Amino acid sequence: MILNIYKPSTWTSFDVVKKIKIITKEKKVGHGGTLDPFAEGVLMIGTNIDTKKLSNISRCNKTYIATIKLGIHTDSFDRDGKIIKINEVPIINEAIIKSVLQSFLGSYKHLPPMYSAKKKNGVRLYNYARKNIIVERDPIKTQIEEINFISFDKDKIKFSVKCSSGTYIRSLAVDISKKLKTIGHLVELIRTEVGGFSINDSLSLKKFEESWKFIKT
């Protein structure tokens, strides 16, 4: 069974897996592509033999709607992190932002955040970060297929992005801020699509639980 579940903000991807396991009582449940706790949206879930399909799903392109808050940098590159720097936000406008966003189209080379599951010398980066150790990271090369401006309000930029698997949108937010000659971090992230699976078809955990009870009765 492959499920398109809407992960709520503040839940970890593993929290969703555990909840699905409790609802379905299936022995084997997994997800196809982690979403950070602050993020929400499409989380693909597989059960039993269908968990084998998750690796293929996780390699598909993903689409997001993201919001950057300019002028503040955090250690995790998102709103859950500790503020480590505050800067003034320069005078910018929609045209400048659109130009910067479009400059990221194509091949995108970036560093994974220290608060991430990437490994260095066999150790997850977040384990270094929790000990206040910053290590050299190897850059990741991914692909930005589409990136589009949505809105700008004072110090917040909202945009959509379609990218290849492995792209850290938190890093993209930081890099966009740098190109705008300031700093920033991600305050909202919604995954709207994974491969052909859309947010329009996502089931909330509550709706899934209700439908599962109906199926089983």
Burial zone of 80 (CB within 10 Å; 0-12 exposed, 13-18 middle, 19+ buried)? middle
Whether 36 sits among the annotated catalytic residues: the reply is yes
Give 40's strand partners. 190
Mapped onto helix, strand or coil, the DSSP state of residue 95 is: helix
Which of 36, 75, 78, 175 is an active site residue?
A: 36
Task: Say which residues have a Cβ less than 8 Å from residue 99's Cβ, sequence separation at least 6.
Answer: none
Q: How far, CA to CA in Å, does 5 sit from each of 24, 61, 113, 186, 207? A: 14, 17, 26, 23, 10
Site of tokens 């709706």: 207
Q: Which alpha helices (H) appear in 31-168, and where do they start and end? A: 54-58, 94-102, 125-130
**Active site residues per annotation:** 36
